[in-house]
Amino acid sequence: MTQLIQRRALLSSAVAASGAVVLWGPRRWLEAAAVPARMTIVAAENFYGDIIGQIAGDHVSLTSIISDPNADPHEYESSTRDMAAISRARLVVISGLGYDGFMTKLVKATPNPQREILTVAELAGKKPGDNLHIWYDPRVMLTFARAVTDFLVRADPPNATSYRNWLHLFETSYKPFTAKVAEMRARFAGAPLGATEPIFGYMADALGMRILTSKEFQKAVEEGEDPPARAIAEMEDQLRRHEIKVLIYNVQTVSPVTERIRKDAARFSVPIVGVSETLPPGSSYQRWMIKQLDEVEQALSKTP
């Protein structure tokens, strides 16, 4: 019993410390004693956490649950640490559509009348059965940033001006990203792409590009299964005949089949662009998206 209590205490202090280290330099620790407890926000995925951080700065204590660049988020299994963070949060951000279904379960298991839940898929008007990777839709993240700002202004009125100013900065820094999408659309609309998994779907739509890989193939990889032999053969034919100009390769949902497709692409000199599900460490959402778009642009410029 005593051991269990100690473990819980250690766990919650570890959670609190991990939130603080991200946002506060050592100097701020000295000021912390005089400052009232900050409100805590939990984001299921680190790209939402990044945007919350850009708008809330160090006014909030922030935890992003899914952030490991070397793991497949579709296979994520929650921990007691996640549950502790969610139980204390003032706001919980969930992507939705079943991408992070464990979050809904943890919220139900830890009732808290003070807590608000923001489900981004609902905010963005997505429906069950839609592509799960809604953060690859440039419009969704702008809508999300505005909804988070509304929450912060309502929950913490004394800092409302800061939040509005930071939203403005965010919107300004978002423009090069949407400008890049428009510029590439003007230049490459209609370009045929291959994709090992549905991650790039909304972005391809925004770019006016076509993903030729069958939904069946992409869906199987997303679900951690092997695509049917027929779908694999079709993908290999498309690469061999250069019907696909660039292969979009999800680096977080790899399997022997995706590895085989990657090797085929290399063998047939089809350029490969690696894209990820989670925000890479040290980047921001906007820089991450622009970097990936730069790579797609370079790859398309190489192919006839």
In this complex, which beta carbon is closest to Zn ion, that of residue 26 or of residue 129?
Answer: 129
Cβ at position 20, least distance to Zn ion in Å: 31
Judged by CB under 5 A, the number of residues near Zn ion is 1
Footprint on residues 33-92 left by Zn ion (CB under 5 A): none
Q: Minimum Å distance from CB 133 to Zn ion?
A: 6
Residue 211 φ/ψ, nearest 5 degrees: -95, 115
In the complex, minimum distance from the CB of residue 137 to Zn ion, in angstroms, rounded to a whole number: 14
Longest dimension (CA), the chain: 69
Minimum Å gap between C-beta 63 and Zn ion is 22
Nearer to Zn ion, 199 or 207 (CB): 199
Give the dihedral sign, CA 297/299/300/301: positive
Supply the minimum distance, in Å, between the C-beta of residue 278 and Zn ion. Answer: 10
Please identify, using beta-carbon distances, which residue of 220 and 235 lies nearer to Zn ion.
220
Q: Which is nearer to Zn ion, 61 or 250 (CB)?
A: 250
In terms of Cα–Cα distance, which of 286, 292, 238 is closest to 265? 238
Q: Would you say 63 or 252 has its CB closer to Zn ion?
A: 252
- The rounded distance, in Å, linking the Cα atoms of 100 and 271 is 32
Nearer to Zn ion, 199 or 257 (CB): 199
With beta carbons less than 8 A apart as the criterion, state whether 124 and 134 touch.
yes
Interacting residues with Zn ion between 173 and 202 (CB under 5 A)? 199
Task: Tell me if 135 sits within 8 A of 141, measured CB to CB.
Answer: yes
For helices 46-56 and 160-188, give the axis angle rounded to 10 degrees.
Answer: 130
Decide whether 62 or 199 has the Cβ nearer to Zn ion: 199
CB of 2 vs Zn ion, minimal distance in Å: 43
Alpha helix (H) residue ranges in the chain:
2-23, 26-32, 46-56, 80-88, 101-109, 120-123, 138-155, 160-188, 201-207, 215-222, 229-240, 256-267, 285-302
282: helix, strand or coil = coil
Closest CA relative to residue 66, chosen from 50, 90, 87: 50
CA 203 from centre of chain? 13
> Minimum distance from CB of 244 to Zn ion (Å)?
19
- Residues contributing to the site for Zn ion (CB under 5 A): 199
